[in-house]
Amino acid sequence: MSRGNILIEKPEFDIAAPHAASLVESLRAFSYELPTALADLVDNSITAGAKNIWLDFHWDGENSVIAVTDDGVGMTEEQLVAAMRPGSQNPLKPRAPNDLGRFGLGLKTASFSQCRRVTVRSIVRSGKSSTRCWNLDHIARVNEWQLLRAGDAAAEPHFSRLAELTRGTAVVWQNIDRLVAGQRTESEREQQLFLQRADAVRRHLAMVFHQLMAGKQGVKLHLNERPVEAWDPFLADEAATQILPVTPLTLHGAIVEVQPFVLPHHSKLAKPKHESAAGPRGWNAHQGFYVYRNRRLLVPGDWLGFGWAKEEHYKLARIRVEVPNALDHDWAIDVTKSRALPPPALRDDLRRIGERTRSDAKRVYSHRGAKLTPKADADRVLLWEPTAKHDKMFYRLNRQHPLLKQSLDATSNRSAFNALLRLIEETVPFPHIAIENSEKPNSLPGPFENAAESQIREVMEQAFNSLVASGYGPKEAVNRLRTIWPFELFPALLQTLSESHSYA
């Protein structure tokens, strides 16, 4: 193109700036749920060094408000404006090891996903405060990224907690349309639903931040004036929990720590502990790998695409995986920080660890918590023995079981007795057992669950006599009983039996 005698070159690019009104509505589509959105705000508070974080759910129908306040270092006005800018940091840029962010989107997308007005106020040590507000309705009107320098009068009461601190930050959500649009203040039912959502947030935060809440120096979370109690998915303090060794895996010079846990059989736990250990989504849903990044939980139990179903027999398997934030890209961690996929270089090791843990968990589930070594497992005597045939699993009675063998040898009509045993084997009510176990996983009783000690002792004595009659010495017979299921569950009775025969 020329103008007079001057040649003007046409630029090789166009500036295609996004329309603010359209893009901000698109940013609302990130797949946050309320608990994950609020967890993203808590991430920011922890990164800012907060020791206390308060979440307040204020019910007022469609005018309800959620506020998150912390006592972290706070932000200057310049820092606050930068923090409110979408994409405020490059996800590829190295970050401090304790930084729980990544994309520079969390505060904005988490807030936009739930509300149409988010106001942030921050106070630094000097006492100076700064306020900024994103009002999506205002952006829709002006079609510009106009970051307002003040909130509205209705937001002010929700900054009262911050006003009592010497430093910190408060985030106030108004017009939370995804949660309370059209709801009425006087509706008790809608108020209860609102409070139930708050309880779901409590359970989620207790799970996600349990490691960061641990110990005297851990961060303290409060929801509607009540402390949030950390939920440890691994029951590490329970004596019956099997804590397996840590396996360090290396990727790009960074260490990924993997530690399996096999949780106790429900018979080994008090009922309140067992109910708590189920977690927010239940026992079956919480089996698998737990992926952490800087001690913050991302994945609360998943088999990470290895093709393993979440079956009842494996529900006691939980595997901790600690990932440094330098490997965010390799683990495909998304904006919501609720998904992660293992890198190809680690999949074989993780599969191997997962298979071993699942096997151990199934053994504990099937044998009511017995800690079994491979040798001990091979030596044990079971009444029912599984047999695979034509891709189906059958269960046969073990004719070498001491009591059954003695009964067979003593019967005058061996053919009739064998026919009875075969009939029992062919008519085990598998469909009924499967349905009952699926609908009520912990309703099926274990061996002698409601039996008196005298009844257990009577059966044990008969088995002891059978072993002695077959040639075992009394001391050998007692030791053999220790390998016969389910007598191993009653060590005190075995000891009493041993002492009653004077063979300690």
* Cα(363)–Cα(371) distance, integer angstroms: 9
pLDDT tens for each residue of 399-409: 888 888 888 88
Give per-residue pLDDT as tens, 316-330.
999 999 999 888 888
Please name every residue paired with 299 in a beta bridge, in sequence order, or none if there are none: 291
Whether the per-residue pLDDT at 270 is higher than 80: the answer is yes
Task: Give every CB contact of residue 349 below 8 A, 6+ residues apart in sequence.
Answer: 247, 249, 258
Give the mean pLDDT of the chain: 87
pLDDT in tens, 332-349: 887 666 678 899 999 999
Angle, vertex CA 145, rays to CA 143 and CA 147, nearest 5:
130
- Report the distance separating Cα 343 and Cα 331, nearest Å: 6
Cα angle 268, 356, 203; round to 5: 55
- Give, in degrees to the nearest 5, the angle at Cα 227 between 200 and 54: 80
Which run of H or E residues covers position 296?
strand 296-302
**pLDDT exceeds 60 at position 504:** no
- Cα–Cα distance between 49 and 282 in angstroms, integer? 32
pTM, two decimal places: 0.72
* Alpha-carbon span 399 to 210, nearest angstrom: 50
In tens, the pLDDT along 372-390 reads: 444 445 566 888 887 777 6
Distance set, CA 211 to CA 208, 215, 220, 265, 327 (Å):
8, 9, 11, 24, 20
List, for residues 154-195, the tens digit of each pLDDT value. 999 999 999 999 999 999 999 999 999 999 999 999 999 999
Q: What is the pLDDT of residue 368?
A: 59
Find all residues with CB under 8 Å of 41, minimum gap 6, and list them: 68, 106, 107, 110, 111, 171
Which pLDDT value is given to residue 78?
A: 95
By mean pLDDT, which of 25-34, 245-254, 266-275 is the weakest? 25-34
**Residue 373 is encoded by which pair of tokens?**
């070594």
Sign of the torsion angle spanned by Cα atoms 389, 391, 395, 398: positive
